Chain A
Amino acid sequence: MVTKIPELGRFAEPALLILVSLSDGPKHGYAIMADVEAGTGRPLGPGTLYAALARLEERGLIEALTPVDRRRPYRLTAVGATNLAEQLHELSEFAQLGLRRLGSPTG
């Protein structure tokens, strides 16, 4: 049974941002924060980051690798990649629907 990201409650949004950040390869905590902030222009606090990381790891969507100098990288699991692809497709369909209703030429 695949865990839906919305089931992570208030951590659904940071969790999705973390999964997207890890989609191009493993990253440690600070690199994830910097990547998310650069991508969204919005701060991701360290407390929120680790609360979301813990939940993603519990659900098997990401896995921890061997630490290098106290920095532990994380990577997407196969389940995490499938889950992320599903969520992004849903978002994409939702965005297309909205654009069509707006009569946008890109919809």
Chain B
Amino acid sequence: MRPMISLILRLYPARWRARYGDEFAAVLEERPLGPFDVADVLLGALDAHLHLRGLGAASQHAKGFAMSLRIGGYAAILGALLIGLVIALTGGRSAGSDNAAAIALLVALAALLVGLTGMSAFQARSDPWLVWSAFAMTAVGSVVIFIASVSDLAGVGPGDWRDGLLPIGLVTAGLGSALFGVATYRVSVLSRRGALALVIGPVAALSGAIAVGQNAWELGMSFLLVGIVSFVAGWLTLGVAAIRLDRAASTLRPA
């Protein structure tokens, strides 16, 4: 952890480090760092540069600059709705060959990554590796889907999208969401029902896809449907819970 902290500190201006560096490093060493903390510290470093260059006034009024549960909540809702929309419009059949659907899927996954980051503060305290694994798998899945989409655009992709990288990316990103669901369920924050739905969704969808591959069409499609609905509902529920929690704690604003 210390090399990571040392790397993070280097992002801050030297003058800031001279004043706060030691105590800031001590704070970072006192608890496990999750994606939320790292994102918050990166934004803090950017703020310190702007502030020390006399751009403090500009940075002060840049609302929404700090990482928060609210950002995570809205991003999770956006990502879930986009994924639901892509599946509803394409029926899941042509996601690999339809460019608009592939782009929408990538935007949705990017939004889910932001959602995962913004909503992961409490989970990372007790299960940092689980949360980082969830983040890494969602990120790797998104990159694989990006590569599959670019190959498709360049005309070098497989004839049938099921033979290419796309299913690998979808499974990886889906399992990343499931891991985040496990971490959230264990810590019992935001919504346990949402967390459970997020675990059930990718597992049911993957089981359904395997069953379809084995020609158990009806059973497989039922599992796929349950999985997709559960996945979307899980992210939506966690997103709404995060916004509600943020609002409940945001009553400290004078008129």
Q: Is A9 an interface residue (CB 8 A)?
A: yes
Given known pairs A10-B60, A17-B252, A54-B51, the reply for A45 and B245 (CB within 8 Å) is: no
Given known pairs A46-B40, A54-B20, A90-B254, the reply for A10 and B65 (CB within 8 Å) is: yes
Q: Is B45 an interface residue (CB 8 A)?
A: yes
Q: Is A103 an interface residue (CB 8 A)?
A: no
| B contact residues, total (Cβ < 8 Å) | 47
Please tell me which one of the listed residues B24, B42, B60 contacts residue A29 in the complex, with CB atoms under 8 A apart: B24
Q: Is A47 an interface residue (CB 8 A)?
A: yes
Q: Is B101 an interface residue (CB 8 A)?
A: no
A10–B121 contact, CB under 8 A?
Answer: no
Given known pairs A13-B250, A51-B51, A70-B22, the reply for A46 and B44 (CB within 8 Å) is: yes
Contacts of B47 in A (CB 8 A): 47, 51
A51–B248 contact, CB under 8 A?
Answer: no
B187 to chain A, nearest CB (A): 12
B60–A71 contact, CB under 8 A?
Answer: no
Chain A residues touching B, majority SS: helix
Question: Complex Cα distance A17/B24, Å?
Answer: 19
B246–A42 contact, CB under 8 A?
Answer: yes
Mask: chain A, 1-23; 1 = CB below 8 Å from B; 0 = not: 00001111111111011000000
Which residues of B are in contact with A by a Cβ distance under 8 Å?
16, 20, 22-28, 30-31, 36-37, 39-45, 47-48, 51, 56-57, 59-67, 69, 121-122, 245-246, 248-255
Which residues of A are in contact with B by a Cβ distance under 8 Å?
5-14, 16-17, 28-30, 33, 40-43, 45-51, 53-55, 67, 69-72, 87, 90-91, 94-95
